[in-house]
Amino acid sequence: MIERAQALAALSENEFDVVVVGGGITGAGVALDAASRGYSVALLERADFASGTSSRSSKLVHGGLRYLQNFDLGLVREALLERQLMVALAPHLVHPLPLVVPAFDGARPDRLMGVGLNLYDVMSVDRDRLRSRRGDSESWSPERHRVISGEEVLELLPALGSREPTSGYLFYDCQTDDVRLVLTILGEAERFGAVCANRAQALNLIEREGRACGVRLLDGESGEEFDVRAANIVNATGVWADRLTDESELPRIRPSRGTHVILRHEDLPLIGGAILPAGSGRTIFALPWLGRTLVGTTDRDYEGELDHVRPSSDDVDYLLEAVNEFFGTAFAPHDLAGAYAGVRPLISSGDPKKSVDISRKAELYEAASGMLTITGGKLTTWRRMAKLTVDRLVQRDSRDAPSRTHEIPLGQAIDADELPRVESVPAESYAALAGRYGYAAHDVLALASKRGELAQPIVPGLPDLLAEVVLAVRREQARSVGDIFLRRTRLGLLAARELPVERVADVLARELVWNPERMEREIERFAVEADAEGIRPG
């Protein structure tokens, strides 16, 4: 991505076809779709890219087996097709994950679940794609679900050792790193000319004769304000969508909090994911993710502040109770490697349904000023949301410019074995780098080779390298310790209790030219942020 200062200069000097407000998955998708259809695009993110809900998901690119229960068949079908497309467009970032629903004590796997999985299988088949890609052995298509033996269950879920499962269902969904998906899409949008800046808040709309023609921007670093002029405004601010203007045509958001906790792989070893009961007919996931085990999620109405959403101790206890019951373990909050929470941007329809039962369908709203608001939806369906939005712009402009995002590869996938070996870089870092950056992993390694001190892992035993901190500043507008730990790497979630804050601040200080006082302030700021985010439960 271009440097932030350069981006801000471009934002103040030019007039754009489209200003996208919000740098989560939805805004990133709209920026890519619009830019690749020939629009000039600006994207403004108030805090850091993906710092809202898009860094706080369950990391699944999935149809959502659960939504079948609500008969949300259209949504599930759409998401399943997107899942398959994402694996083709970003194979390094979105990969298939085996999931198991185990059965115990000689019981047969639950029949109702089998019916749901049958439907899931049928709905995930994309006949058009099968026809057009026949013979393309590279492209992933999910195997049908099947019943597996107790031994096979244990191979995928070694953590179940003490429970002796007797059989289980095996099926597939896909998994990603949500932040990296956002950053990759933003990178592609920039290739098509979009200008993106973080710490750039849209304060309000600028209107002329009742039509929106720009936004007032607040530069979160300098405190300066200026106008960004544009013919079209897209509000993609997720849970903040009803706050950008006071227009009564905006959707009312009903935030629902979801909490996740993370355990060390050694404590709860999983090769595939597990679906486990969590009381009152609900289920949760336990998933292998970036070398750890991720457990979630809860789903409860939320009324607290949106800028920092903490996992509540009730939610943490609820998740641990389900894990302990299912795996026969005795984890307490202080055993957790980390935790995080996020809020779903659910659209309130005014009815008093529980948040679990509210549809995840996306909605597009058009205000009298012409501003488009796109919200709801899921990480998985970002491309469809973007297309829906930009189709409307194209229609308004009477242009003939179909969406192309179904054929734009996201990042350049590579095989980790192709990467050059660099002295001191741990063996496990190569696969992690290839998975995170694709071809750009070469740049991380080139830097690590030039400056040997940057070849070291940030946290001993985990694959992320200090060289990534430098490149995050130079290439991805990282500006703070939190940006590095919570988003450019995910160490703030995976190793929340062992973060080498000073070490990372020191590398940042050199790149961002911080004096010792500034460095101290930034370290202190991260302590406050980590506390507000509740990443270290108990």
Ligand X SMILES: Cc1cc2nc3c(=O)[nH]c(=O)nc-3n(C[C@H](O)[C@H](O)[C@H](O)COP(=O)(O)OP(=O)(O)OC[C@H]3O[C@@H](n4cnc5c(N)ncnc54)[C@H](O)[C@@H]3O)c2cc1C
Residues in contact with ligand X by the rule CB under 6 A: 21-27, 44-47, 51-54, 56-60, 62, 201-202, 236-240, 244, 258, 297, 342-345, 375, 377-380
Could you give phi then psi for residue 408, rounded to 5 degrees?
-95, 110
CA distance 415 to 127: 29
Name which of 234 and 444 has its Cβ closer to ligand X. 234
Name which of 302 and 430 has its Cβ closer to ligand X. 302
CA distance 501 to 521: 12
Q: How far is CA 151 from the centre of its chain?
A: 33
Name which of 265 and 383 has its Cβ closer to ligand X. 383
Cβ 458 vs Cβ 469: under 8 Å: yes
Q: How far is the CB of 206 from ligand X (least distance, A)?
A: 13
Q: Which residues of 103-119 are buried (b: 16+ CB within 10 A; e: fewer)?
A: beeeeebeeebeebbeb
Name which of 36 and 57 has its Cβ closer to ligand X. 57
Name which of 11 and 445 has its Cβ closer to ligand X. 11
Give the three-class secondary structure for 399: coil
Query: 473 CB contacts (<8 Å, ≥6 apart)?
Result: 479, 508, 511, 512
Q: How far is the CB of 380 from ligand X (least distance, A)?
A: 3
DSSP 108: P
Give the three-class secondary structure for 253: strand
Name which of 92 and 257 has its Cβ closer to ligand X. 257
Name which of 238 and 457 has its Cβ closer to ligand X. 238
Name which of 62 and 479 has its Cβ closer to ligand X. 62
Q: How far is the CB of 473 from ligand X (least distance, A)?
A: 19
Q: How far is the CB of 59 from ligand X (least distance, A)?
A: 6
Q: How far is the CB of 93 from ligand X (least distance, A)?
A: 14
CA distance 282 to 251: 28
Point out which residues pair with 211 in neighbouring strands: 208
Name which of 149 and 313 has its Cβ closer to ligand X. 313
Query: 76 CB contacts (<8 Å, ≥6 apart)?
Result: 63, 64, 65, 67, 68, 120, 123
Q: How far is the CB of 420 from ligand X (least distance, A)?
A: 34
Q: How far is the CB of 122 from ligand X (least distance, A)?
A: 21
Q: How far is the CB of 253 from ligand X (least distance, A)?
A: 10
Cα-Cα-Cα-Cα dihedral sign, residues 436, 442, 446, 447: negative
CA distance 272 to 264: 15
Tokens 């992933």 correspond to what residue?
A: 140
Q: How far is the CB of 405 from ligand X (least distance, A)?
A: 15
CA distance 96 to 87: 8
Cβ 21 vs Cβ 196: under 8 Å: no
